[in-house]
Chains A and B, each alone.
Chain A
Amino acid sequence: MWNYSEKVKDHFFNPRNARVVDDANAVGDVGSISCGDALRLMLRVDPQSETILEAGFQTFGCGSAIASSSALTELIIGRTLSEAATVTNQQIADYLDGLPPQKMHCSVMGQEALLAAIADYRGETLADDHEEGKLICKCFGVDEGHIRRAVLTNGLTTLEEVINYTKAGGGCTSCHEKIELALADILAEQQAVPITFIAEKDPHWQEVVDAITELRPHIQADGGDMSLVNVANHKVTVSLSGSCSGCMMTDMTLAWLQQKLMERTGCFMEVVAA
């Protein structure tokens, strides 16, 4: 019926720290009743060391929302605020041995509540990513900032993944095109530096970089992209993304690059996709 892990079930049926923390000095409220899930995270933080001494939560939501809240409190108790601030939604999901893809937004909500609580403690008006950028999904009030962070933190590449992680586009579906455009922008920025430099450079490194730089505009024109992963012992590893992934013509592209490299270097070069 539900493909929840045993850990998710355990944290749903026996939630940890599901209580009101009366003397909480950091409270994060996120979500809304119209979205179908909402969470209040309450922390008691030691003012000297900024260590989280106690954490409690109240959650309105489905089984995985409650389990994610429970996991979050377990992950942060005993940590300092700056340590806790590094907890990602993926860590929450991992702690629960994974969440079904369409439930990943529950772990995102946990992470958001944590950031809200830390901002509350520091007396900051939350640098709330829901105030950033333009509103994309009207049904669930998700804006570009929220989508950006989910994409960057979790390496999302498709519309479907964005829906699963942020809920954006899960309602009336009229914003799907906007999401795709935003996603393309975010991914393009990520690939502004396409070449990952490896500490030990191969003697042919620069020639390979030049060949790829020459080839890239053509691939991009077809909606794809390529970045260099490694060059070692006449073996070039590249990463293909966008419409290249899964494309039947990929082999042709790689063969073309291989031919160009052999012409440039005058020796055998093998090109493989990462």
Chain B
Amino acid sequence: MKQVYLDNNATTRIDPMVLEAMMPFLTEHYGNPSSIHDFGGPSRGALERAHQQVASLLGADHASEIIFTSCATEATSTAIHSCIELMPERREIITTTVEHPATLAVCEHLERQGYLIHRINVNSNGALDMAHYQQALSTRVALVSVMWANNETGVIFPVETMAEMAHEYGALFHCDAVQAVGKVPIAVSKTRIDMLSCSAHKLHGPKGVGCLYLRRGTRFRPLLRGGHQERGRRAGTENIAGIVGMGSACELAQIHLPGMAAIGQLRDSLQDELVNIIPSVMVMGGNQPRVPGTANLAFEYIEGEAILLLLNQAGIAASSGSACTSGSLEPSHVMRAMDIPYTAAHGSIRFSLSRYTREKEIEYVIASLPPIIARLRLLSPYWQNGKPAAADAGFAPVYG
């Protein structure tokens, strides 16, 4: 069966060149980079090279500003905890309502310990309320943590401006750049961002490895204590194969960066064609700057899991912010934060492309999806005779 993978914001396929770079470190080069003997040498060299490769993609000035971690979640946790430990007199944190759970759950935990958490709202386009941000800033704020691009909508936030603003109040700025690295050019040294998290498996690298960028001169407290690995900033024997994979993936991502424009065009054609063919569709964050590969479409009056099941049957992999797919009973926190009408929030589908996505695959999706939507709408009591059911003549359920 034909298979089309459009869930690259969840994870990506590993680039064969990345795998090739990793293989020796899963086989003959098994030495510990901390060892003094000859077995440690190749691992130590590879580790240094990977630092440089990642620093180069992020536009960091120094390779030592990169701290490898087990994932971006660990990097984010490290950043937040380090910051609040160093600034115990500052008891407020600013984040957004649409952050990844890696940030939100840590903030909730700190809230229970007495921290005041400001969660900046977004409007229905997915854009941050900058007036709200300005209001929340004060010298009581220890840290601002905002994502570079949202994972569900792809909307890019003005993190560079926000970092400048944070520094006016002496607050540190952390950026979750998981969905932006390798998709938009980043020159972190030119910004006032102090810490930045990213992950290898979102850019055709392996799972189980991420990194924290830590600007030189930024005070820091490690999350994991133990050995002196990563200059004592992240203890634990390095996942050398994973780190080599991340380095290699970053180098390749830099080479492929100019090709992102073409992915953006493919995304636009997918989204525009579907909006033309299918009635009652909303593009989430469609009028905002977005990362090139992400299109989040809300198909009104039908439910996302049902769409995904039929797409899966057609060999197409996407994801949904609907309640039923997440195991929760409410639509995703991003859809709720954007205040998308319930008619649409339950039917939101995220397509995320990668450099492996081909035009004929997009054509296949454009051909396959309209009959699926029509079929489910035929089943929906909110949709009658090819259009939304009239409020008076239609469906009058006994509760809700």
Contact = CB atoms under 8 A, between A and B. Distances in A.
A37 B303 contact: yes
Given A62-B306, A171-B329, A36 B322 contact: yes
B400 interface: yes
Contact of A59 (B323, B325, B381, B396): B381
B331 A60 contact: no
A2 B309 CA distance: 9
Q: Interface extent on A, as a size class?
A: 35 or more
A58 B397 contact: no
A29 B346 contact: no
Main secondary structure of the interface of A (DSSP, over half): mixed
Given A40-B395, A128-B398, A170-B328, A58 B381 contact: yes
Given A32-B400, A171-B329, A39 B381 contact: yes
A34 interface: yes
Nearest to A102: B327
B305 interface: yes
B330 interface: yes
A13 interface: yes
Contacts of A18: 378-379
A140 interface: yes
Please indicate which of the listed interface residues A32, A35, A38, A60 has the most CB atoms of chain B within 10 Å of its own CB.
A60
B327 A29 contact: no
A221 interface: no
B313 interface: yes
A49 B287 CA distance: 60
B57 to A, nearest CB: 32
A58 B380 contact: yes
Contacts of B398: 28-30, 112, 116, 126, 128, 130
Contacts of A35: 400
Interface string A155-177: 00000000100010011000000
A29 B395 contact: yes
Main secondary structure of the interface of B (DSSP, over half): loop
Contact of A1 (B310, B312, B346, B395): B312
Interface in B208-250: none
A167 B380 CA distance: 21
A66 B330 contact: no
Interface string A1-24: 110000000001101001000000
B322 A29 contact: no
A63 B381 contact: no
Interface string B316-328: 0000001111011
A54 B169 CA distance: 70
A257 B218 CA distance: 67
Contacts of B356: none
B30 interface: no
Contact of B381 (A60, A102, A140): A60
A61 interface: yes
Contacts of A163: 329
Given A1-B312, A65-B303, A140-B329, A33 B399 contact: no
Interface of A: 1-2, 12-13, 15, 18, 28-40, 58-66, 102-103, 112, 116, 126, 128, 130, 139-141, 163, 167, 170-171
Given A29-B396, A58-B379, A61-B324, 18 more contacts: A18-B378, A28-B398, A33-B301, A33-B342, A33-B343, A33-B400, A36-B329, A38-B395, A38-B397, A60-B380, A60-B382, A62-B306, A62-B322, A65-B303, A66-B306, A66-B379, A130-B398, A140-B329
15 contacts: A29-B381, A29-B396, A30-B397, A34-B342, A34-B400, A36-B324, A36-B329, A38-B400, A39-B381, A61-B303, A62-B322, A62-B324, A63-B324, A140-B329, A167-B329
Interface of B: 301-306, 309-310, 312-313, 322-325, 327-331, 342-343, 346, 378-382, 395-400
Shortest Cβ-Cβ A-B pairs, 4 listed:
A32-B400, A170-B329, A62-B324, A62-B305
